[in-house]
């Protein structure tokens, strides 16, 4: 970084898409999918602050029934609609107390 220049490092990670997921959350879901389907890691999961992608994803989900292992978590999230939210008409709702998220149906006006 140049002297005298300032930027917000969290700005990109906090950017939300049309479904309400932050960029960082979307990347973690994609990494979990890649690991579950191929068995390979995209990068070291410790860079997320967690020991696995599953733990990193569970850290932002507001779902006590979610499985704890990579393949089971991916299968569960896929069934719940996390990977095709727009097609199912789902959006993300954030719990303001905990900062965790869950899926809700999009309101129809």
For the segment 56-69, the average pLDDT, to the nearest whole number, is 95
Please give the pLDDT value at position 54. Answer: 95
Question: Would the pLDDT of 4 be above 60?
Answer: no
What's the per-residue H, E or C state across 1-49? CCCCCCCCCHHHHHCECCCCCEHHHHHHHHHHHHHHHHCCCCCCHHHHC
Please give the pLDDT value at position 82. Answer: 95
Map out the domains of the chain as residue ranges.
10-105
CB atoms within 10 A of CB 83: 15
3-state secondary structure of 107: coil
Tell me phi and psi for residue 24, to 5 degrees. -65, -40
Question: Would the pLDDT of 6 be above 70?
Answer: no
Band of residue 10 on the pLDDT scale cut at 50, 70, 90:
low
The chain-wide mean pLDDT, for the chain, equals 87
Both tokens of 57, joined, read 């994803």
């Amino acid at each position: 970084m140049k002297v005298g220049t300032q930027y917000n490092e969290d700005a990109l990670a906090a950017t939300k898409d049309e479904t309400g997921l932050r960029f960082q959350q979307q990347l973690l879901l994609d990494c979990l999918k890649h690991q579950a389907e191929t068995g390979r890691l995209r990068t070291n999961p410790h860079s997320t602050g967690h020991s696995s992608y599953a733990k990193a994803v569970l850290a932002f989900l507001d779902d006590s029934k979610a499985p704890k292992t990579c393949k089971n978590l991916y299968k569960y999230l896929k069934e719940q609609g996390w990977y095709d939210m727009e097609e199912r008409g789902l959006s993300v709702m954030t719990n303001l107390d905990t900062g965790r998220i869950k899926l809700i149906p999009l309101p129809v006006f």
